[in-house]
Amino acid sequence: MKNIVVLGSTGSIGKNTLEVARNLKDKFRVIGLSSNSRWELLADQVEEFKPRYVALNDCQFAEKLKYRFQNNQLKILMGGNCLKEIVLHPEVDIVVSAVVGAVGLPAAIATIEQGKTLALANKESLVMAGHIVMSLARKDQILPVDSEHSAIFQSLHSGKPAEVKRVIITASGGPFYDYPADKLSDVKPAQALKHPTWQMGQKITIDSATLMNKALEIIEAKWLFDLKVEQIDVVIHPQSIIHSMVEFCDGSVIAQMGMPDMKVPIQYALTYPERSPLCVRPLDLSSIGSLTFKKPDMEKFPALRLGYQAAREGGTMGATLNAANEVAVQAFLNGQIQFTEITSYVEKVINNHHFIKNPCLEDILAADVWARQEIKKCLM
């Protein structure tokens, strides 16, 4: 029996994780849940899973939760440090990091330092500080939840690290891949929030539409699998059936496939190195008919080019790119900027920043703060 904590249990990955845990009650006990502000959903999850700890970023909502569970043994943590605090409890075996954004970094580091397994959906923590996180982690301590990285992780088992030639990350292309380039600036948030193949939180859905999500995934793959940037290719695959591939030195290409369903990579991260039965839509290739592939268009989707640039330059580039993007995505969702300005503002910020090649954690956090301030100046 393993004890798991779900950071961001009220989000898209968080809810899928609880569905996996619900079906594997004999293997996993949910002992911690956390959310930003959705306290009512969190309360329902507490009723069902009866965790020992719950963390809520918003203190006002945490008080409501306290009132509702006043006669209960439940320990309620609140405020800015609560994500980090909840992972420190000695009974925790696995932390599923399903929070969105830079807020996941301190908890990811704390999880690794405590020697616990980190099932990582929060790619932003690797984008910001991959060199720090990976240098602290032992082999297989971080298990990828991102579907592409889970596919690469599974495919890598077919050979040795020295036999890997390259990885090929697939991208659905998002809702606008075939949209006229000159009309992209007029795209509205409601259109961008309609992803063709995946149901996800708002931030990653917008990132998928700009292809910034793929940019972040290039950086994530570099750190997770210790790859050179030249070993990372991206291919547009609109059906999202092949989740990514690994090419070995003998020309063999191993792919992991399946209907798009995040429960598959989530469960694999939890049960690794074993597999457990999971009720998912079976892959029926003959009814799908054809799988198609295209070269990514970096002119139309410059975010991809920025992802390669940040992966190549390393240092504080990832943290700056990530922070500027978080603010730009929110500004687009608020109707403050156009869709195409998300990437153009991010590019401006990363190219103006004071680059540090070998940053410590404080440098990373300072770059994050700087980038947020800088892009907000552009928005004024």
Binding site for NADPH, by residue number, is 10-13, 122, 124, 201
Is 247 a binder of ligand NAD (CB under 6 A)? Answer: no
Is 244 a binder of ligand NAD (CB under 6 A)? Answer: no
| Residue 148 binds: one of Mg ion, ligand NAD, none (C-beta under 5 to 8 A by kind) | Mg ion
Residue number with CB closer to ligand NAD (83 or 324): 83
> What are the C-alpha distances in Å from 269 to residues 66, 120, 147, 187, 219?
32, 8, 10, 36, 20
Structure tokens at 112: 């690794």
Residue number with CB closer to ligand NAD (36 or 320): 36
Is 6 a binder of ligand NAD (CB under 6 A)? Answer: no
Q: Which of 3, 4, 5, 11 binds ligand NAD (CB under 6 A)?
A: 11
d(CA 173, CA 13): 20
d(CA 51, CA 96): 14
> What are the C-alpha distances in Å from 213 to residues 218, 260, 289, 329?
9, 16, 27, 12
Using the contact rule CB under 6 A, the part of the chain among 119-127, 297-305, 321-329, 358-366 near ligand NAD is 119-127
Is 10 a binder of ligand NAD (CB under 6 A)? Answer: yes
Q: Which of 69, 198, 248, 355 binds ligand NAD (CB under 6 A)?
A: 198
Residue number with CB closer to ligand NAD (235 or 356): 235
Annotated binding site: 10-13, 122-124, 146-148, 172, 195, 201, 208, 213-214, 217
> What are the C-alpha distances in Å from 359 to residues 122, 212, 325?
21, 23, 20
- The residues near 230 (Cβ < 8 Å, ≥ 6 apart) are 166
Residue number with CB closer to Mg ion (149 or 353): 149
In sequence order, what are the beta bridge partners of 184? none
Nearest approach, Cβ of residue 97 and ligand NAD (Å):
8
- 228-260: b (≥16 Cβ within 10 Å) or e: ebebbebbbbbbbbbbbbbbbeeeeebbbebeb
Site string for Mg ion, 148-167 (x = CB under 5 A): x-------------------
| Residue 272 binds: one of ligand NAD, Mg ion, none (C-beta under 5 to 8 A by kind) | none
Is 128 a binder of ligand NAD (CB under 6 A)? Answer: no
Q: Is residue 40 packed enough to be buried (19+ CB in 10 Å), middle (13-18) or exposed (0-12)?
A: middle
Site string for ligand NAD, 158-197 (x = CB under 6 A): ----------------------------------------
Annotated binding site for 1-deoxy-D-xylulose 5-phosphate: 123, 147-148, 172, 195, 208, 213-214, 217
Helices 303-313 + 317-333 axis angle, to 10: 160
Is 146 a binder of ligand NAD (CB under 6 A)? Answer: yes
Is 111 a binder of ligand NAD (CB under 6 A)? Answer: no
Instruction: Find, among 232, 221, 247, the residue nearest to 296 by Cα.
Output: 232
d(CA 354, CA 315): 11
Tokens 């547009």 -> residue? 236
Q: Which of 14, 296, 307, 314 binds ligand NAD (CB under 6 A)?
A: 14
Is 12 a binder of ligand NAD (CB under 6 A)? Answer: yes
User: 333 and 316 in contact (C-beta within 8 Å)?
Assistant: no
In sequence order, what are the beta bridge partners of 244? 256
Q: Which of 124, 220, 368, 374 binds ligand NAD (CB under 6 A)?
A: 124
Interface residue list for ligand NAD (CB under 6 A): 8-14, 34-36, 38, 57, 83, 98-100, 103, 121-124, 146, 198, 200-202, 204, 262
